[in-house]
Amino acid sequence: MGLFNAVLSLSGAIDTDVIEDERLARHTSYRIGGRASLFITCHSYHALRRAVEVLAREQVPWVIIGKGSNLLVADSGYDGAVITLGREFQRSVLAEDGVTLTVGAGAMLARLVNDALSRSLAGLEFAVGIPGTVGGAVSMNAGTRDEWIGSLVQDVVTYRPGVGLCHYAHDDVFWGYRETGIPRDEIILEVTLKLHPGEKADIRSKMERSLQRRRKTQPIGSASCGSVFRNPAGRSVGAMVEECGLKGFSVGGAEVSDLHANFIVNNGTATASDVVAVIQHVYEKVKETYGVELKPEVKFLGF
Ligand SMILES: Cc1cc2nc3c(=O)[nH]c(=O)nc-3n(C[C@H](O)[C@H](O)[C@H](O)COP(=O)(O)OP(=O)(O)OC[C@H]3O[C@@H](n4cnc5c(N)ncnc54)[C@H](O)[C@@H]3O)c2cc1C
């Protein structure tokens, strides 16, 4: 592959930051992961389009990430380019109707949630405490068991490599539990959400209740990727793993959390192989005990 040519073409390109051989542990909430051949931040649509075109021409594989809060990256890293969205993708605009908010996919979800609170707009309270970007949240249809971001989405703009901009209305897309029908090879650029007017005090107290619940039930101070497995219909993975007696089960520096058994935490020394070994053990035990084959929610890169 023409990695060298790709670096030559992209170094110094407008609105593009290129880092070679970047440690991905710096870009994941797990604080785990080897190096990516290239780490590219694109600050504008034109820069993004050019980067993707150069990578395609030079046959360098690439992947888009947000803040890496749902990612497990292999210890050997990723033999390709990791792309993230920079400045131009962090803006937000409120429409004249006062309830329709358009936000760039690179913006932090937490900022969006706080923005909505400060404008007395309700609907996003469930998302408080979910790390990551708006693009990552829409790609994962992030949320709780009962509420997810897709139900607020009115419109999504993506970049389809080789084609250009694509627009999807809410009903054009399948929105399921931790999944969407947005094609995986497209990059989400911008999202329009329909919120509704609310009382600031009510919004704030709903957010506080939600945060308190998180603090009580999740190891938010430890490095993790959130829930590792998706809950099967009508069941809780946390409860199943706990009933298998796996709380505290560890391999190397990776451990099933004592607080929430669907979280596998990095105690500071875990490698990706440690985490994978714990995931495999949990998967096997749950299958043996319940006959249920768990599906991962975490995304794997470089395996
Ligand atoms: C402590 C903790 C608590 C968590 N709690 C929750 C929770 O309650 N609910 C929940 O749903 N999740 C939760 N998560 C998981 C995670 O925060 C979410 O999945 C989040 O939405 C991921 O956003 P990100 O920007 O970090 O995406 P990343 O982890 O960087 O990427 C996730 C996926 O999205 C894709 N992606 C990212 N950006 C784009 C883009 N612009 N266009 C196309 N695809 C893109 C990536 O390719 C990847 O497949 C938690 C994680 C942690 C660490």
Strand order in the sheet with 16-23: 16-23, 35-42, 78-85, 62-64
Query: Residue 141: what residue type?
Result: N
In the set 139, 224, 227, 257, the catalytic residue is: 227
CA–CA distance, 232 with 218 (Å, rounded to integer): 19
Q: Which two tokens stand for residue 176?
A: 């399921």
Q: Which residues pair with 192 in a beta bridge?
A: 102, 155
Q: Which atom of ligand 1 is nearest to the CA of 141?
A: 11
Residues with Cβ within 8 Å of residue 116, at least 6 apart in sequence: 101, 122, 123, 124, 195, 203
151 is catalytic: no
Within 176-271, residue ranges assigned H as helices are 200-217, 237-243
The CATH number assigned to the domain with range 221-301 reads 3.90.78.10
Rg (CA), the chain: 20
Ligand 1 pocket check for 104: Cβ under 6 Å: no
pTM, two decimals, is: 0.97
pLDDT tens, position by position, 229-259: 999 999 999 999 999 999 999 999 999 999 9
The listed CATH number (3.40.50.1000, 3.30.465.10, 2.60.40.10, 3.30.2290.10) that belongs to domain 91-216: 3.30.465.10
**226 CB less than 6 Å from ligand 1?**
yes
Task: In whole angstroms, give the CA distance from residue 254 to residue 246.
Answer: 13
225 Cβ closer than 6 Å to some ligand 1 atom? yes
Sign of the four-CA dihedral 238, 114, 191, 85: negative
Q: Tell me the domain boundaries of the chain.
A: 2-88, 91-216, 221-301
Q: What is the pLDDT along the chain (303 residues), one digit of tens a residue?
A: 699 999 999 999 999 999 999 999 999 999 999 999 999 999 999 999 999 999 999 999 999 999 999 999 999 999 999 999 999 999 999 999 999 999 999 999 999 999 999 999 999 999 999 999 999 999 999 999 889 999 999 999 999 999 999 999 999 999 999 999 999 999 999 999 999 999 999 999 999 999 999 999 999 999 999 999 999 999 999 999 999 999 999 999 999 999 999 999 999 999 999 999 999 999 999 999 999 999 999 999 999
The CATH code belonging to domain 2-88 is 3.30.43.10
One-letter identity of residue 184? R
Strand order in the sheet with 100-104: 92-94, 100-104, 187-194, 153-160, 164-169
Distance between start and end Cα atoms, the chain: 19
Which of 164, 17, 9 lies closest to 83, judged by CA? 17
Reply yes or no on whether 297 is catalytic: yes
- The alpha helices in 119-195, defined as continuous H runs, are 134-140
> pLDDT tens for residues 107-165?
999 999 999 999 999 999 999 999 999 999 999 999 998 899 999 999 999 999 999 99
Active site annotation includes 92: no
Indicate if ligand 1 lies below 6 Å from the C-beta of 238. no
Identity of residue 210: S
Task: Determine contact, residues 93/101, Cβ cutoff 8 Å.
Answer: yes
Instruction: State how far the Cα of 56 lies from the Cα of 52, in Å rounded to an integer.
Output: 6
Helix and strand counts by DSSP (H, E) for the chain: 7, 18
